[in-house]
Amino acid sequence: MRLEDMTVALRPRQPWEAVDLGCAMVRRDFGRLMALWACTVFPLWAIICVLLRDAPVWIPLVVWWLKPLYDRVPLFFLSRAAFGVRPGFVETWKAWPRLWLTNFLPALLWRRFSFIRSFALPAQMLEGLRGAAVKRRIKTLAMDGGGSGFSLSYAFSKIELLCWLGLMWGTYGLLPESATPDWQGMIQSFDYENTIPDAFLWWGAVCHMIIVTLIEPFYVGAGFALYLNCRTRIEGWDVELAFRRMASRLTAAAALLLISFTFLSMPVQAAPGDKAAQTIEEVLEHPDFEIHKVKTKEWVPEFEAEEEDEKKKPHLEIIGLIGEILFWGLLIGLVTWLVVYLVKNRHVFISRGVGKKAVAAPKVIMGMNITRESLPDDIVAAARAAWAAGDAKEALSLLYRGSLSWLVTRRRVPISDSDTEEDCLIHVIAAGEKTEAAYFKHLTGAWVQVAYAVLPVSNTEMNLLCDQWPFETSKMTKE
């Protein structure tokens, strides 16, 4: 065992970090570990399966119980790989019987339930101690790393169990119906033997073996790394390693110094200084230390030359002056025109009641003149007179025009000259005065009946229309 050949970075770590180091070690050599595992463990499992072919339910338990045996070959490999020598198949094959038989019974009986199994295994297997000495040794180591060894076992049992159940869960849906247990029947009858088919038990055993194969090497590696970390802390392996390297370097350097002293007869004191200067020069010659200079050229316009040009062409100034006058003149003219235009059309932008009224009230609707001037003073009386004269259309026309005139000028109903009777009615209803709207609806019906359908309107209806006249046309006249 030479510390110089370590293939693992040693330094005192926190326990969980040491566990991670073990995982990293196993991952590095996982392929080779799997090959060794297949050679040593799979035959044993095959034998177990043959022996227990009638009771597959026990297979996972036996496989679990024999775990301490499986651990030994991976540990053998890892402990040698950590020191740079990876054992091949032949070497492992030769060591195999010895590995499995050392401490065979204790490992499978009373030490099977040790909570620091993987942490204690290196002490049992690698240190060559026996009996009570092993016990003492493990106790000493456990003072520093026992708690973490226990946590490690807990964490990996949990991971293994989770993975096993996870794999069963994930593959449960893929099993044929004949292989899935009859859960309901099992709950009702508690008859485990008949409700769980053997195929399911076999599948469970295979899943368990797959997961043990995948996870157990990590558990072993983690325990080994914890053990290494423990010894590194207790015995200062990392310091020893660094000291050994320093010693070999200094011995070589001393030999060199001696040679230079003897043959070149140089003062010893001066040698390091010269050497340092030489080293400095060597280092400085590296491309990294090359000094790069960035030169930027700035273009400076030749003002003097331009000035001379300007002197030669004095008329350019006059052109510039004319252009400037033109520009300002145009700008002033444009602004003035804009102001005048805005003032002239101010009614477009300034909304006042006067302007709106002028725009809003149409004078002619559907070809009928509705200005107040075109109507008689007392519209209702004029309508009654027309009705008495037998001109029904004239009478209703008077009422209709009068009401429209009122609605447009006083109520400001937004009726335009292109609206039909229907549109007018909609606008009036939308304006919101209920009595007026109802009356106007009634009137519109009568007017349409007389004017377009040429149907007679009864005397009572005409009287009703005249009596209910809601518009104060007389007041309108005064204004």
Partner 1 sequence: MAEARADTLQSVELADGVEIQLRVAGPAARSMAFTIDLLLRVAIYIVVWIAALFLLVKAIGMELTTGLMLLFMFFMEWFYNVIFEAGPRGATPGQRTMKLRVMSATGGPVTLAQAVLRNFLRVVDFMPGLYLTGILCMLFTKRFQRLGDLVANTVVTYVDPPPVRTAHSELRAERRAPPQVLTREEQAALLQFMERAPQWADERRLELSSLTEPLTGAPGAEGLRRLCGMGLWLQEPEEKNGKPPPLKGAPPLPA
Q: Which residue ranges make up the site for partner 1 (CB under 8 A)?
A: 6-9, 12-14, 16-17, 19-21, 23-25, 27-28, 30, 151-152, 155-156, 158-159, 162-163, 165-171, 214-215, 218, 222, 233-236, 238-240, 242-247, 249-251, 253-254, 267, 269-270, 272-274, 276
CB of 236 to partner 1, least distance (A): 6
Q: Hey, which residues does 365 pair with through a beta bridge? A: 368
Q: Hey, which residues does 369 pair with through a beta bridge? A: 364
State which residue, 274 or 309, has the beta carbon closest to partner 1: 274
Neighbours of 133 (CB within 10 A): 12
CB of 220 to partner 1, least distance (A): 13
CB of 181 to partner 1, least distance (A): 17
Longest dimension (CA), the chain: 156
State which residue, 134 or 222, has the beta carbon closest to partner 1: 222
CB of 112 to partner 1, least distance (A): 21
Under a CB-based contact definition with an 8 Å cutoff, are residues 168 and 204 in contact?
Answer: yes
State which residue, 242 or 332, has the beta carbon closest to partner 1: 242
Residue 205 and residue 216: Cα distance in Å, rounded?
A: 16
CB of 342 to partner 1, least distance (A): 55
State which residue, 163 or 366, has the beta carbon closest to partner 1: 163
Residue 65 and residue 69: Cα distance in Å, rounded?
A: 9
CB of 280 to partner 1, least distance (A): 12
State which residue, 238 or 461, has the beta carbon closest to partner 1: 238
Cβ neighbors of 8 (< 8 A, separation 6 or more) are 21, 25, 82, 225, 228
State which residue, 292 or 312, has the beta carbon closest to partner 1: 292
Under a CB-based contact definition with an 8 Å cutoff, are residues 68 and 117 in contact?
Answer: yes
HSE-up (13 A, CA, CB side) for residue 331 = 6
List the one residue out of 70, 49, 47, 74 whose CA is nearest residue 60: 49
Residue 297 and residue 301: Cα distance in Å, rounded?
A: 13
Under a CB-based contact definition with an 8 Å cutoff, are residues 218 and 26 in contact?
Answer: yes
State which residue, 253 or 319, has the beta carbon closest to partner 1: 253
State which residue, 98 or 249, has the beta carbon closest to partner 1: 249
CB of 171 to partner 1, least distance (A): 7
> What is the chain's Cα-based Rg?
56
CB of 250 to partner 1, least distance (A): 4
Under a CB-based contact definition with an 8 Å cutoff, are residues 442 and 428 in contact?
Answer: no
State which residue, 25 or 66, has the beta carbon closest to partner 1: 25
Continuous segment of H or E residues that includes residue 337: helix 315-344
CB of 257 to partner 1, least distance (A): 10
What single letter denotes the amino acid at residue 165?
Answer: L
Q: How open is the CA angle 36-39-44, to the nearest 5 degrees?
A: 125
